[in-house]
Amino acid sequence: MATAPSVRLERPRRSPTPRALRAALTSSLAIYILRRLVWAVAMLVVVSALTFLIFYLFPSADPAALRAGRQATPELIAQIRRALGLDRPVYEQFYLYMKNLFLHFDLGYSYQNNISVRSEIFSRLPATISLTVGAVVVWLAIGIPVGVISAVRPRSRLDRVVMGAALVGISAPVYWLGLVALFLFASDIGKVPLFGGAGSYVPLTQDPAGWFSSLVLPWFVLATAFAAFYARMVRGNLIDVLGEDYIRTARSKGLTERRVILRHGLRAALTPVLTIAGLDIGILLGGAVLTETVFNIPGVGRFAYDSIVNSDLPSIQGTVLFGAAFIIIANLIVDIGYALLDPRVRY
């Protein structure tokens, strides 16, 4: 429509985006990230101080006695206590721990078996990542479509059935669901032996098929509650968004209903969902304790569980710090990512 554009208007113009991006990176965004990182370090110090305090203030088994074994003499226990540094005041232990952490990224050694906590966590990380990433894929692949279908026909029979099932999914405890899954489908004890059972985890690099088979049940068990929660969240957000004026505009343009719902509705409804997904991933990377314990997956969560059982302070500290770091990093990534998802957000 309108007048023909002049020749000058037709000239192709180079996009200013890279320069703008560089400018942004060197200014507000960079400062923002830096500030957040400083806070992250402070937060981690506070978290480990709290872990120390809780460990010493609340009754737990004496780590030295546990280490010494069944028939330990008091002299042996005292000797172990000295060797582990447990005879020193708490603040001194904390100071030493922090010093090693900051200077050498050293998380200390297990009271239980003298293994380096850092290398123990890193060696277990692939299992936890495998579990988390697979579960995320499963729950997003189920939760988003189910939420959309429900939102398009709210209060229909399908919506009611699906949302009822989602409520059950949210309410079912992971450990119970895990045991039921093992009982039904595990290759060793299952009624219908389809997938690997508890303790069948093998690393991906060793045996991809075995890795996959061993993780199918944990993926679905861990994803169930999340899928249900996400379906409800997507449904709620999408119903709200579909009532917005700009959806009416999209329809009045003559777009197909499919495009209205997916391109206009879902796009807006997913922004908060992806934000929460980022946080959930961060939390799970710190260790999915229950799932890893039920399925005996040698991940960070299982390690956390074992260290608590053994009153193994350095291991507890290590897993707590690791989990906290993942959550903080996930938070930061989500907040930065939000600006990419929603152009109205600026730092």
Partner 1 sequence: MAPLLEIRDLHVSFRTRDGVVRAVDGVSTSLGRGETLGVVGESGSGKSVTALTVMGLTRLPNAFVGGQIVFDGTDLLELSNEALQHVRGRRIAMIFQDPLSSLHPLYKVGWQIEEAILAHEDVSRRAARRRAIDALAAVELPNPRDLVDSYPHQLSGGMRQRAMIAMALVLNPDVLIADEPTTALDVTVQAQILELIRGLQKEFGTAVVLITHDLGVIAETADEVAVMYAGRVVEQGPLETILEAPEHPYTWGLLQSIPRLDTPRRERLRPIQGTPPSLIHAPSGCHFHPRCPYAMPMCRTIDPELLESDEGHVVACHLPVDEKRRIWRELRPREADAA
Q: Which residues bind partner 1 (CB under 8 A)?
A: 1-3, 5, 9, 13, 244-246, 248-257, 259, 264, 267-268, 271, 341-344
Distances (CA, A) of 39 to 33, 202, 322, 331, 335: 10, 38, 16, 12, 14
Least CB distance from residue 12 to partner 1, whole Å?
10
Q: How far is CA 105 from the centre of its chain?
A: 22
Nearer to partner 1, 113 or 256 (CB): 256
| Residue partners of 235: CB distance under 8 A and separation at least 6 | 146, 147, 148, 150, 151, 154, 159, 163
Nearer to partner 1, 35 or 346 (CB): 346
Nearest 5°: phi and psi at 255? -75, 160
Nearer to partner 1, 82 or 259 (CB): 259
d(CA 166, CA 172) in angstroms, rounded, equals: 10
Query: Phi-psi category of 121—alpha, beta or left, where left has phi over 0 and alpha has psi -120 to 50?
Result: alpha
* 310 touches 64 (CB < 8 A): no
* 132 touches 206 (CB < 8 A): no
How many Cβ atoms from other residues are within 10 Å of residue 166's Cβ? 24
Least CB distance from residue 282 to partner 1, whole Å?
24
* 323 touches 227 (CB < 8 A): no
Least CB distance from residue 24 to partner 1, whole Å?
16
Nearer to partner 1, 188 or 257 (CB): 257
Nearer to partner 1, 59 or 343 (CB): 343
Least CB distance from residue 153 to partner 1, whole Å?
8
Least CB distance from residue 129 to partner 1, whole Å?
31
- Can you name the residues that pair with 109 across neighbouring β-strands? 116
- Can you name the residues that pair with 186 across neighbouring β-strands? 195
d(CA 251, CA 202) in angstroms, rounded, equals: 51
Query: What is the number of residues in the chain?
Result: 347
Nearer to partner 1, 92 or 244 (CB): 244
d(CA 294, CA 224) in angstroms, rounded, equals: 15
Least CB distance from residue 231 to partner 1, whole Å?
22
Nearer to partner 1, 33 or 255 (CB): 255
d(CA 222, CA 6) in angstroms, rounded, equals: 61
Least CB distance from residue 162 to partner 1, whole Å?
18
Nearer to partner 1, 62 or 240 (CB): 240
Least CB distance from residue 51 to partner 1, whole Å?
41
d(CA 328, CA 270) in angstroms, rounded, equals: 22
DSSP 89: -
Nearer to partner 1, 7 or 103 (CB): 7
DSSP letter string over 30-78?
HHHHHHHHHHHHHHHHHHHHHHHHHHHHS----HHHHHH-TT--HHHHH
Least CB distance from residue 144 to partner 1, whole Å?
17
